[in-house]
Structure 1
Amino acid sequence: MSAAVRRLADGLSGEDREHVAAMLLALRSEGIAENRILAAFEATPRTLFVASGDRDRAYDAFPIAIECGQTLPPPAVQARIIQAAAIEPHHKVLEVGTGSGFAAAVMARLAERVTSVERYRTLAELAEERMASLRLGNVTIAQHDGLEGYARFAPYDRIVVQGAVGQLPLALAAQLKPEGILVAPIGRAGAEQVLTRFVAREKHIDATPLGAIRMIALSPGRAAAL
């Protein structure tokens, strides 16, 4: 772990604290009201999850490019998804699409255990380094085809899909506990999707639309490179 990464993980500068305060006000204005979620965002330095040249923009309200052609979504988008999942302290969570690892780090402060799967090896390795720097020992990062879920630790109380999918991935739904919740942006890439909450009932799955959202598409498979 580099000294620069350790410094970012250990504390925020005065300027960063101003950015965090502005982010929290913006999240509240977007309807993110749960104090546990706001506290988890406050405690997770976004500057650790972007390239050094983008650190001055880490808290801005637009996507930031990261490795492997992916993006770090804006704080409000990630907060909406996490809030929709209704994560409790005793929950076991599966995240599909680790990306930078920021959302996994936030959810690790809300749940008992987070398993996050990522198709790109580079992103998975960077996320593991960031979890170690933040001393988040309750997160497992795995390179895997996220649309297959991660059967090793199934079933899950919550599944959070960090990318647009055309419909509910049945392989993921099968890994939910009874009354478990899956949250995913449903729709095609390049257009607005509908953030949807699915609840696993005894003989069916309830779906509740939660409003428009825009995320990049979730790709199937495990990347052969990167």
Structure 2
Amino acid sequence: MSSAKRAPHEKMQFQLTLRRRGISDQAVLRAMEEVPRENFVEEGFREDAYLDVPLPIACGQTISQPFVVAYMTEQLQLRNVHRVLEIGTGSGYQAAVLSRLVREVVTLERFRSLAKRAQARLTRLGYGNVEVLVGDGFSVPDEAGHFDRIMVTAAMESIPDDLVRLLEPEGVLIAPVGPQTGSQTLVRLRKTPDGVERTDLIGVRFVPALAGIAREM
């Protein structure tokens, strides 16, 4: 069956799965519906684009399963005035979802080839409020400024203080924290006048966040 004929049924099931798993923010559900996930997966996996599973992409990375994308997005409690930093661009899918909900998205990717492909894809699909930068998520350049929200889409053994400092007052950061192999805990930090509040959310499994710009052959 062609992708065009499959899409309506698949997208309906896609939305039902997210709702059944507890995603209730209507703006997040609408953003998940609007972003064409099939355009962000590798060609050989497009038949599986709307399954609730992670899928492999280039450079040994993955595109997260839709529930995790929606859950992390919902937990950020986004508003359309927000400026958001994403660490780990990958295919650009998460950045595209964020872009439907906020004013601006800056996303960092340590693999130059992934960053180049993601920027081209996002531009082609009309996500004009996303800027893709090649960079180190452990050392975000000062010129990037500060952010209302930060999302990390790779596993960190601990969240660097330098990343937390980039948050505006009342800003929120969400990241998978734990060992680079095995499972991690999704952690949400909120910067308050009294300090940083931490909330542990759900168990997840992400590829590791590595320091530096990747050397690619």
TM over 0.5: yes
163-172 vs 98-107, greater mean Cα deviation = 163-172
| Residue 17 (structure 1) shift | 2.1
Q: Answer yes or no: is the 8 Å Cα contact 1:63–1:73 preserved in 2.
A: yes
Tell me which amino acid in the other structure corresponds to 2:206: M
Q: What secondary structure sits across from 1:147 in the alignment?
A: coil
The corresponding residue for 1:100 is 91
2:28 corresponds to 1:37:
yes
2:160 corresponds to 1:177:
no
Aligned residue-pair number: 215
Partners of 1:108 and 1:211 lie apart in 2 by 24
| Residue 20 (structure 1) shift | 1.3
Q: What secondary structure sits across from 2:128 in the alignment?
A: coil
| Residue 203 (structure 1) shift | 4.7
Q: Answer yes or no: is the 8 Å Cα contact 1:85–1:183 preserved in 2.
A: yes
The corresponding residue for 1:206 is 197
Q: Answer yes or no: is the 8 Å Cα contact 1:154–1:176 preserved in 2.
A: no
> In angstroms, what is the RMSD of aligned CA positions?
1.3
The corresponding residue for 2:108 is 117
79-88 vs 136-145, greater mean Cα deviation = 79-88
The corresponding residue for 2:12 is 21
2:36 corresponds to 1:49:
no
| Residue 152 (structure 1) shift | 2.0
Q: What secondary structure sits across from 1:198 in the alignment?
A: strand
Partners of 2:203 and 2:187 lie apart in 1 by 9
2:78 corresponds to 1:87:
yes
Q: After TM superposition, list the pairs within 5 Å mapping 1:133-152 onto structure 2.
A: 133-152=124-143
Q: What secondary structure sits across from 2:138 in the alignment?
A: helix
Aligned-residue sequence identity (percent) comes to 35
Partners of 1:150 and 1:72 lie apart in 2 by 25
Query: Which consecutive residues of structure 1, in runs of 5 or more, have no partner in the other structure?
Result: 1-11
| Residue 202 (structure 1) shift | 2.7
Query: Which consecutive residues of structure 2, in runs of 5 or more, have no partner in the other structure?
Result: none
Tell me which amino acid in the other structure corresponds to 1:197: R
Give CA deviations for 1:31-51 in whole Å, capped at 9, x if unaligned: 110010011011101110112
The corresponding residue for 1:8 is none
